[in-house]
Amino acid sequence: MSTSAKKEPSKEVALKLVHELTQKLNSWADAYYAEDNPLVPDSIYDESLKKLREIEIDYPELKLPNSPTLRVGAKAREQFQKVAHKVPMLSLSNVFSIAELGSFLDRAARHMGSSEAPFPLTCEEKMDGLAISLHYKKGIFQRGATRGDGETGEDVTENLRTIRDIPLKLEGHYPDEVEIRGEVYIELKAFARLNEKLQKEGKKLFANPRNAAAGNIRRLDSSITAKMPLRFFAYQIVSTPFDQSEALKKLSQWGFQVNSHWKSFSDLHSIEKAVKEYEEIRKNSKRPYEFDGLVFKVDSHKLQQELGFVTNSPRWAVAYKLPAIEMLTQIEKISVQVGRTGALTPVAHLKPVNVGGVIVQRATLHNLDQIRAKDIRCGDTVWIRRAGDVIPEIIKVVTEERPANSTPFEMPSTCPECHEKIIATKSQHKCPNTLCPAQALERLRHFASRGAMDIVGLGDEWIEEFFNNGLIKNPSDFYQLKNHKEELLQKEGLGEKSVEKMLSAIEKSKSQSAARLLFGLGINHVGERIAQDLLQNAGSFLDLTQKNSEELVTYSGIGPEIAQSVSQYFSKNEVKKEIQKLQDSGLLAFKEKIEIISGGPLSGKTFVITGTLSTERGIIKKRLESLGAKVSDSVSKKTSYLLAGENAGSKLTKARELGVKILSESELESLIS
Ligand code: IVH
């Protein structure tokens, strides 16, 4: 065997071998991955792949565009390139009932000046994964990108190449250039195996299959992505004249995986029946993957064109959200967690139960009031609900099943971590000891978290480990870790490479904004928005630290409670020392000058948005904020305007009671203009 490796094949022979091996390896891989039917032992596959790779190294010009060696992943990169989508990647508006679907179709019919609804529709399962766009030129996969904000995504080509459901070369007849869209997802079993493995390795688990898919597609190191069980369903061909039902067939012919459970409909009655069937399928976990709804699309390409879209969702397609899945289980134990502000949160430990494919073992109980309201007790049989990625919720206790000796849940009178006496207020129980180790650890985690300094690659487990060893006590200690490299290298599971990665992530976090730093400090009542508000009023981080509560309370949007909390925080000696250390570490936040906002045509005005609107709320909110307005969640006397869409409920009633001005979308437009 070894002698043959020495003899390089001639180019002529190499050409033949490259074709043969590529073809063989691809068909073996298809049988293995798509049909779960291995045709040859792994060793033969590996050997052939090695041989092909060797030839390709000697004769790079012979490498075929669909070579299986392209699927193994490339080395880590710094960041992803941004990609502007030629055709924006829209999102879908949601309906929750047949009646709402009916209205959606009526609106579409009216738009076309016809009263005939519905027209032929396709119905597909709405995969709960990550939307992806793929570009092919002359049938060869060129580039793939995430949806991003719909306008601009990230170039994740290398990672997508590792997914075997994505053809590197199209089959059959295809346009010269074509863009395909679809969903990257992970099957439920593979998701469970992945999390099991992560758990064994002491790493952070993925919350749900969608996060696992998204997290792995956005990995900078595609050789890791290559090892992940990612799958892809194609569901759209962009800018070609195919009807949707035709497009789905074409996609299969071109070599894509297409979810085969799609159907065609042309009347609401049969849709209603089918929706019930899909609900059962989902509830009984009959699919190997998770789907959170159905997508109805107007089949005709011509009608789609006529219908067009509103702001950022098409008039020709809609998502039908299926109801959350509810299951029965039992509470085995109720424990109490201490958060970073000392607040105690009860957590129910459940007998593991499969809720629509995801094993649920815990549910947060928020606070004592909620427990009392539902009278939740240890040992109770309860209904739990999981909707999408939301943390499962206990909806109801089956009191008939309650054990005879059960007693109502009581909060502990001392902190479970530091044993300090708990202080109980209206609805909150708090450990008042700011030196409580549980709080300190949570504060560190918060500082490093995504919305704050975003120290990527420093997982919760390592923070806990470093905290327990005394390597990190305060946030500023993160920036000293580089002086403890030897100690880090001694830890099991931390090699040279991971330590380098960790330290460079920490260094990188030094350039985070002042708002993130302020939020990251975890001051009571200072969330992301308030942090921004405070800085936009104070002008800089250090200026803010000097303000007393009388000054802070004059800031727009800052009430007495926040003002107190902030000024008290910065007046503490240990905080002053910590801030100095952070500044000495060279955080850019200290140099940032924040533009003090004043003016803006809507400055000083507070808006509340409610009901169904033609534009996504987030977009309206951003627009209002850019004009100087504040957007708040609840209606009060301070609210200047309520923007009310269709089906507005309690907020509208309250606004009427309080005499708050109510605007429709068009009234808002004229107000702005
Ligand atoms: S069609 C304009 N089809 O749902 C067409 N989307 O809220 C938009 N999705 O971003 C997409 N399965 O991530 C379509 N069969 C399917 C889908 C699907 C899942 C996701 C996709 C999209 C989101 C829209």
Condensed to tens digits (0 to 9), the pLDDT of residues 444-469 reads 999 999 889 999 778 788 899 999 99
Decide: 480 in ligand 1 pocket, CB within 6 A. Answer: no
| 67-118: pLDDT as tens digits | 988 887 665 566 788 999 999 998 898 898 999 999 999 989 888 887 566 6
Which residue's CA is the nearest one to ligand 1's atom 16? 126
Residue 2 scores a pLDDT above 50: no
Q: Please give the Cα distance from 616 to 320 (Å, whole number).
A: 17
Residue 531 scores a pLDDT above 90: yes
1.20.1730.10, 3.40.190.10, 1.10.357.10, 1.10.150.20: which CATH number matches 437-511? 1.10.150.20
Distance from chain centroid for Cα 585: 32
- Rounded to an integer, the average pLDDT of 119-137 is 95
- Rounded to an integer, the average pLDDT of 514-537 is 91
- Phi first, then psi, for residue 364 (nearest 5°) are -80, 150
Question: How much is the pLDDT for 37?
Answer: 67
The residue with tokens 């006397």 is 637
Active site residues: 126
The token duo for 337 is 């967690």
Q: Name all contacts of 115-119 with Cβ < 8 Å and 24+ positions apart.
A: 118/265, 118/266, 118/267, 118/268, 118/271, 119/266, 119/298, 119/299, 119/300, 119/303
The residue with tokens 């019930």 is 276
Q: Please give the Cα distance from 121 to 244 (Å, whole number).
A: 9
Q: Please give the Cα distance from 628 to 602 (Å, whole number).
A: 5
Q: Please give the Cα distance from 220 to 223 (Å, whole number).
A: 9
Mean residue pLDDT across the chain: 88
Q: Which of 608, 670, 668, 658 is nearest to 633 (CA)?
A: 608
- Rounded to an integer, the average pLDDT of 473-478 is 96
Distance from chain centroid for Cα 594: 29
More confident residue, 317 or 388: 317
Locate the ligand 1 atom nearest the alpha carbon of residue 297 and give its number: 1
Q: Please give the Cα distance from 186 to 192 (Å, whole number).
A: 10
Residue 429 scores a pLDDT above 60: yes
| 281-301: pLDDT as tens digits | 987 778 899 898 999 999 999
b/e map of 350-360 (b: 16 or more CB within 10 Å)?
Answer: beebebbbbeb
Decide: 131 in ligand 1 pocket, CB within 6 A. Answer: yes
Decide: 124 in ligand 1 pocket, CB within 6 A. Answer: yes
In the chain, the amino acid numbered 285 is S
The token duo for 637 is 């006397």
Percent of the chain with pLDDT over 90: 51
Same fold, 94-321 and 514-594: no
Q: Please give the Cα distance from 501 to 485 (Å, whole number).
A: 12
- Rounded to an integer, the average pLDDT of 214-225 is 88
Question: How much is the pLDDT for 357?
Answer: 66
φ/ψ region of 609 (left if φ > 0, alpha if ψ in -120 to 50, else beta) reads: beta
DSSP string across 615-663: S-HHHHHHHHHHTT-EEESS--TT--EEEE-BT--HHHHHHHHHT-EEE
Q: 124 and 51 in contact (C-beta within 8 Å)?
A: no
Beta-ladder partners of 644: 610
State in Å, rounded, how far the first CA of the chain is from the last one: 79
Decide: 319 in ligand 1 pocket, CB within 6 A. Answer: yes
Residue 467, C-beta contacts closer than 8 angstroms, at least 6 positions apart: 437, 440, 441, 444, 473
Decide: 126 in ligand 1 pocket, CB within 6 A. Answer: yes
How open is the CA angle 354-358-364, to the nearest 5 degrees?
90
- Rounded to an integer, the average pLDDT of 296-319 is 90
Helices of type H across 406-540: 437-448, 460-468, 485-489, 496-508, 514-520, 528-538
Residue 610 scores a pLDDT above 80: yes
Beta-ladder partners of 354: 359
| 638-662: pLDDT as tens digits | 899 999 988 888 899 999 989 899 9
b/e map of 579-611 (b: 16 or more CB within 10 Å)?
Answer: beebeebebebbebebeeeeeeebeebbbbbbb
- Rounded to an integer, the average pLDDT of 336-358 is 87
Q: 307 and 84 in contact (C-beta within 8 Å)?
A: no
Q: 639 and 647 in contact (C-beta within 8 Å)?
A: no
- DSSP designation for 240: S
Which residue's CA is the nearest one to ligand 1's atom 6? 126
Instruction: Give domain limits for the chain.
Output: 24-63, 94-321, 325-414, 437-511, 514-594, 598-672
φ/ψ region of 629 (left if φ > 0, alpha if ψ in -120 to 50, else beta) reads: beta
pTM: 0.57
Residue 5 scores a pLDDT above 50: no
Question: How much is the pLDDT for 624?
Answer: 83
Question: How much is the pLDDT for 599?
Answer: 58
The residue with tokens 């045709």 is 39
Residue 126 scores a pLDDT above 90: yes
Question: How much is the pLDDT for 1?
Answer: 39
- Rounded to an integer, the average pLDDT of 345-350 is 92
CA 244 – ligand 1 centroid, Å: 13
b/e map of 635-667 (b: 16 or more CB within 10 Å)?
Answer: beeebbbbbbbeebeebbebbeeeebebbeeee
Collapsed DSSP state (helix, strand, coil) of residue 607:
strand
Q: Please give the Cα distance from 567 to 332 (Å, whole number).
A: 43
Residue 4 scores a pLDDT above 60: no
CA 319 – ligand 1 centroid, Å: 8
Residue 582 scores a pLDDT above 50: yes
Collapsed DSSP state (helix, strand, coil) of residue 138:
coil
Cα atoms in the 13 Å half-sphere on the side-chain side of 660: 25
Asked if CATH classification 3.40.50.20 holds for the domain at 598-672, the reply, yes or no, is no
Q: 246 and 236 in contact (C-beta within 8 Å)?
A: no
- Rounded to an integer, the average pLDDT of 590-608 is 79
Percent of the chain with pLDDT over 70: 94
Which superfamily is assigned to 24-63 in CATH?
Helix hairpin bin (1.10.287.610)
Fold held by 514-594? DNA polymerase; domain 1 (1.10.150)
Question: How much is the pLDDT for 158?
Answer: 92
- Banded model confidence at residue 563, pLDDT cuts 50, 70, 90: very high
Which architecture does CATH list for 94-321? 2-Layer Sandwich (3.30)
- Phi first, then psi, for residue 68 (nearest 5°) are -65, -15
The residue with tokens 């400090």 is 521
Residue 6 scores a pLDDT above 70: no
CA 588 – ligand 1 centroid, Å: 40
Q: 652 and 664 in contact (C-beta within 8 Å)?
A: no
φ/ψ region of 446 (left if φ > 0, alpha if ψ in -120 to 50, else beta) reads: alpha
Q: 640 and 630 in contact (C-beta within 8 Å)?
A: no
Locate the ligand 1 atom nearest the alpha carbon of residue 92 and give its number: 7
Q: Please give the Cα distance from 620 to 326 (Å, whole number).
A: 34
Judged by average pLDDT, the poorest of 32-36, 136-140, 325-329, 611-615 is 32-36
Q: Please give the Cα distance from 218 to 234 (Å, whole number).
A: 19
- Rounded to an integer, the average pLDDT of 381-397 is 77
Report domain 325-414's class.
Answer: mainly beta
CA 126 – ligand 1 centroid, Å: 6
Question: How much is the pLDDT for 491?
Answer: 85
Beta-ladder partners of 360: 353
CA 179 – ligand 1 centroid, Å: 15
Which residue's CA is the nearest one to ligand 1's atom 13? 131
In the chain, the amino acid numbered 231 is R
Q: Please give the Cα distance from 334 to 416 (Å, whole number).
A: 13
Locate the ligand 1 atom nearest the alpha carbon of residue 94 and give its number: 7
Q: 229 and 82 in contact (C-beta within 8 Å)?
A: no
Question: How much is the pLDDT for 598?
Answer: 59
